[in-house]
Amino acid sequence: MSDVEMKKGAEEKNKQRSDFLTGNDAAALAIRDVNYDVMGYYPITPSTELPEALSMMQANGDHEISMVPGDGEHGAAGICYGASLGGGRVINATSANGLLYSIEQLPVQSGTRSPMVLNLVARTVSGPLNIRCDHSDLYFTLNTGWLILLARDPQAVYDLNIAAVKISEHPDVRLPIIVCFDGFFTSHQKRLIHVFENGDTIKTFVGKPNTPITALDPKNPATFGAYMNDPDMINNKKQHSLAMEAARRVIPEVLHELEELTGRSYPILDAYHMEDAEYAVILLNSAAETAKEVADQLREKGQKVGVLSPNVIRPFPADEFRKALKNVKAIVVGDRGDSYGADGGNMSLEIRAALQRDPDNKTVVLSRIYGLGGRDFYDDDAEAFFELAQNSSNAIAFDYYGTYKGEPDRNPPKGMPPIKAEEVTRSMAKVTKNAETGKLDVELEPLWAMSDVKSRIAPGHGACPGCGIFPMLHQMYRVLEGDLVILFHTGCGMVVTTGYPKTAHRITYIHNLFQNGAATLSGLVEMYYERVRRGELPESSDITFLMFSGDGGMDIGMGPAIGAANRNHRMIIIEYDNQGYMNTGSQLSYSTPMGHRTTTSEVGSVGSGKNFHHKDTAQIFSACHLPYVFTASEGFPEDLMRKVAKAQWYAKREGLVYGKIMSFCPLNWGVRDDAGQPVMQAAIDCCFFPLYEVEKGHTTISYDPDILGTRIPAINWFKQMGKTKHLAKPKNADIIKSFETEVDRRWKRLKAMHEHEEL
């Protein structure tokens, strides 16, 4: 082949096509074509679409990345760490509190010099909970020892995901790397971008990973993570710092190499109209692009303005900033995140520090915190920043931009009057202890009699039509007596009831993130009893404490919940089980049944839904030897209410109660809004969701489809739901068999326990 022919061949091979993709889609495509070995992940908006897109591709046989759903982000980061010690390529994606929940692992990953790529889809850190974009999560990563690239638009997300692999694995660097892009603004916005037609182009570009020492090489044993004392630590960290310095050289090299392939360049510091700029605005990611648009308009009017926005912030391009700002009179640095009390956002502080090393520099630096919690950045906001830069002499150095003071007599709609304990203590379920059995008996009033008990939750919440969480709450509140204090884990129930400045809860309500609710509530319970003991609160107040979690919250929040159970606090934990992470758009939870389709267990030519069995949370808590554990369904109100009444009795007198309650989700089960009763009935009749209670260690089945003659094969349940329709196909017969075998095994075990007093 001649040189010309070879070049043509390469061009043909490296051809690009146009596509219209969101930032998340673009990242997923690059990830697919890098062909990572392992992805450890945990869903969190707005990064969730990334594993979702990869799950869809996987279901259609488009890649073979091993995708491991973590039990939480801390677990996901651990999965990634372990996988990276094995020498292959590792990818993860997260946002906000997901990042923070895993952050403890980040210095472990970097400190042991284990390369991997993390897509950080920037989102506001709680609390209060907010799902939209700012950079408060990104700023937490600045001291983790990771490299950080910033991707301003979907094209950059694609390109930098490719470059990241090579930078991270470079032998002089060997550090994990973050590619950060803006949640929603970039992650969910479709743009015209160019991608390689053939994934091999990327594979060739990144080459084979080269890890000299791995944990999968028994012939060359090595110790990873030795305990290191003071004389060594500082030297280890010096190495780390040198690697960061090496990255200053390696990053432009790799980006240049990529440019040769793509035709797209990424300078370390993106400078727009800066050649002769006298005033500049400095922003990260998507907002910088808006500022460029405005800079064009102002340039037309003759104003000498420009925009700076770094593509890399670790290592921080101090030199580049110094050079770019040499002759600039004033700048406004916009930070989408505050470093509270530091007199400026992180970028403004680092830029100030960079300029301080240039004795001749006279640039006025103004710091503005803007766009928190996803507040949009419009053209006129950029204009305001340019104006501020041009009138810097009277401006204060640090301020918030875009806040609102409030009007003295402007308030949200009024709340409802508090509910008196008497109004909700109406003996709708009378609980008595049976002297003979030692167990509790419950006498329930007829349903109609309950219908004028004051409700502790108001209508007007924003759940989907038909949502099962609310009938469940309603039924529980019918029989629970006296004052309640409730805590909700993050999830649908929390999100749809408390959209600020409104709340549907008429009683005291607390939210904490779903990894830690049980610990939080147990703390409050102890405070209550302690203050009663000290005489600071009246004993008569008699509060019952309840926590509500989704099934997902019992993945990520399992540890603290088991902790609370082992300590046996006087509280009730209710898990409403809708078989998935519904609030974030239906990803698999460990409680999702095998074979069921979710957005991270997709169905396609090779994928057939979730590939492991459902978690048996009730049995896990039963093994904590609690006074009372039960399962129920919002489709069986009387049974549910009897059990809840017992739960309150035990939680007040003996300790922690756990209840797992099946809850209807029409949206993500793929059924009509009014089909709750038949669908849940089928789940119970096929013995997937047995109704039973474990009272002081004794198991009693409350509803036995075998005895009642209502037992059905699982397929009769599956046929009713969109998420399981595919299981009716002959090719999925094995999945059904495996499901039924497992369900039957668990059911028989339960029956044996029901029959034997000692089990």
Partner 1 sequence: MNEKVTLPNSKKFFGIRFESIGGLGAHAAGKILATTAVLRMGLNGAHFSSYGSEKKGSVVRSFIRLAPAEKLIRSSAPIESPDVIVVFHSALLKNPATIAGMKAGGVLIYNGSESDEIPEIFSQLPSTTKIIRVDAQRIAVEEKSRPNAVLLGTLTATVPFIDFSILLESFSEEFSQRHPEAVASNEKAFRRGAKEIDRLSNIGKGTDDLPIMRADPVWGYENAPIGGVLPLPGNTVHNDLTVSRMGWLPLFHKDKCIHCGMCDMVCPDFCLVWKAADNNEVHLQGVDYRYCKGCLRCVETCPTGALTREIETPGMADKHRVKLFPELEGGA
Ligand X SMILES: Cc1ncc(C[n+]2csc(CCOP(=O)(O)OP(=O)(O)O)c2C)c(N)n1
Tell whether residue 341 is a contact of partner 1 (CB under 8 A).
Answer: no
CB atoms inside a 10 Å sphere around CB 397:
14
Query: Applying CB under 6 A, which of residues 668, 699, 724, 732 lies at the interface with ligand SF4?
Result: 668
DSSP, collapsed to helix, strand or coil, labels residue 374 as helix
Residues 451-490, interacting with partner 1 (CB under 8 A):
451-452, 455, 457-471, 474-475
Angle between helices 23-34 and 154-169 (to 10 degrees): 30
Rg (Cα) of the chain, in Å, rounded?
A: 29
Specify the length of the chain in residues: 759
- Listed in sequence order, the residues at least 6 apart from 97 whose beta carbon sits closer than 8 Å to its beta carbon are 44, 125, 126, 137, 513
- Listed in sequence order, the residues at least 6 apart from 629 whose beta carbon sits closer than 8 Å to its beta carbon are 618, 621, 622, 657, 658, 659, 693, 694
Residues 542-581, interacting with ligand SF4 (CB under 6 A):
578
C-alpha distances in angstroms, 18 versus 57, 155, 186, 190, 192? 19, 11, 18, 12, 7
Distance CA 155, CA 151 (A): 8
Query: Applying CB under 6 A, which of residues 22, 119, 186, 584 lies at the interface with ligand X?
Result: 584
Name the helix (H) or strand (E) containing 390: helix 379-390
Tell whether residue 340 is a contact of partner 1 (CB under 8 A).
Answer: no
The pattern of x and - marking residues 384 through 423 that bind ligand SF4 according to CB under 6 A reads ----------------------------------------
**Side chain identity at residue 146, one-letter code:** W
Tell whether residue 27 is a contact of ligand SF4 (CB under 6 A).
Answer: no
Residues 97-126, interacting with ligand X (CB under 6 A):
97-98, 101
**Side chain identity at residue 145, one-letter code:** G
Tell whether residue 567 is a contact of partner 1 (CB under 8 A).
Answer: no
Tell whether residue 464 is a contact of ligand SF4 (CB under 6 A).
Answer: yes
Tokens 């009897």: give the residue: 642
641 exposed, middle or buried (CB, 10 Å; 0-12, 13-18, 19+)? buried
Tokens 């470079």: give the residue: 170
Inter-residue contact 687 to 604 (CB < 8 Å): no
8-state DSSP, 641: H
Phi then psi dihedrals of residue 270, to 5 deg? -75, 120
Tell whether residue 551 is a contact of Mg ion (CB under 5 A).
Answer: yes
Tell whether residue 472 is a contact of ligand SF4 (CB under 6 A).
Answer: no
Inter-residue contact 488 to 503 (CB < 8 Å): no
Query: Applying CB under 8 A, which of residues 9, 207, 499, 713 lies at the interface with partner 1?
Result: 499
Residues 476-495, interacting with ligand SF4 (CB under 6 A):
492
Count of alpha carbons within 13 Å of 590, Cβ hemisphere only?
A: 15
Residues 171-200, interacting with Mg ion (CB under 5 A):
none
| 496 interface partner picked from ligand SF4, ligand X, Mg ion, none, CB below 5 to 8 A per type | ligand SF4
Query: Applying CB under 5 A, which of residues 550, 635, 659, 705 lies at the interface with Mg ion?
Result: 550
Query: Applying CB under 6 A, which of residues 295, 667, 714, 743 lies at the interface with ligand SF4?
Result: 667
Query: Applying CB under 5 A, which of residues 578, 584, 599, 699 lies at the interface with Mg ion?
Result: 578
Inter-residue contact 420 to 483 (CB < 8 Å): no
C-alpha distances in angstroms, 278 versus 269, 326, 359, 379, 386? 17, 10, 19, 20, 11
- Listed in sequence order, the residues at least 6 apart from 25 whose beta carbon sits closer than 8 Å to its beta carbon are 49, 53, 154, 190
| 184 interface partner picked from ligand SF4, partner 1, ligand X, none, CB below 5 to 8 A per type | partner 1
Inter-residue contact 347 to 312 (CB < 8 Å): no
Closer residue to partner 1 (CB): 611 or 677: 677
The pattern of x and - marking residues 517 through 556 that bind partner 1 according to CB under 8 A reads ----------------------------------------
Minimum Å gap between C-beta 445 and ligand SF4 is 15
Tell whether residue 132 is a contact of partner 1 (CB under 8 A).
Answer: yes
Which of the ranges 249-257, 436-444, 566-574, 661-669 carries the binding residues for ligand SF4, by CB under 6 A?
Answer: 661-669
Tell whether residue 78 is a contact of Mg ion (CB under 5 A).
Answer: no
Distance CA 388, CA 530 (A): 54
| 667 interface partner picked from Mg ion, ligand SF4, ligand X, none, CB below 5 to 8 A per type | ligand SF4
Which of the ranges 47-55, 293-301, 511-519, 659-667 carries the binding residues for ligand SF4, by CB under 6 A?
Answer: 659-667
Tell whether residue 32 is a contact of partner 1 (CB under 8 A).
Answer: no
Q: Which residue is nearest to ligand X (CB)?
A: 550
| 449 interface partner picked from partner 1, ligand SF4, Mg ion, none, CB below 5 to 8 A per type | partner 1
Residues 54-93, interacting with ligand X (CB under 6 A):
73
Which of the ranges 124-132, 199-207, 226-234, 660-668 carries the binding residues for ligand SF4, by CB under 6 A?
Answer: 660-668
Instruction: Give the burial string for 317-333 (b: 16+ CB within 10 Å, else e).
Output: bbebbbebbeebbbbbb
Residue 39 backbone zone (phi > 0: left; psi -120 to 50: alpha; other: beta): beta
Which of the ranges 10-18, 346-354, 459-467, 747-755 carries the binding residues for ligand SF4, by CB under 6 A?
Answer: 459-467
- Listed in sequence order, the residues at least 6 apart from 472 whose beta carbon sits closer than 8 Å to its beta carbon are 576, 634, 640, 661, 663
Query: Applying CB under 8 A, which of residues 219, 301, 414, 534 lies at the interface with partner 1?
Result: 414
Query: Applying CB under 6 A, which of residues 131, 469, 571, 714 lies at the interface with ligand SF4?
Result: 469
DSSP, collapsed to helix, strand or coil, labels residue 386 as helix
Closer residue to ligand SF4 (CB): 37 or 445: 445
Closer residue to Mg ion (CB): 306 or 517: 517
Minimum Å gap between C-beta 430 and partner 1 is 18
Tell whether residue 589 is a contact of ligand X (CB under 6 A).
Answer: yes
Distance CA 268, CA 266 (A): 6
8-state DSSP, 282: E
The pattern of x and - marking residues 582 through 621 that bind ligand SF4 according to CB under 6 A reads xx--------------------------------------
Minimum Å gap between C-beta 476 and partner 1 is 11
8-state DSSP, 446: P
Query: Applying CB under 8 A, which of residues 415, 523, 713, 722 lies at the interface with partner 1?
Result: 415
Distance CA 713, CA 725 (A): 15
Q: Which residue is nearest to Mg ion (CB)?
A: 550
Residues that bind ligand X (CB under 6 A): 43-44, 73, 97-98, 101, 489-493, 513-515, 549-553, 578, 580-584, 589
Residues that bind ligand SF4 (CB under 6 A): 463-464, 467, 469, 492, 496, 578, 582-583, 665-668
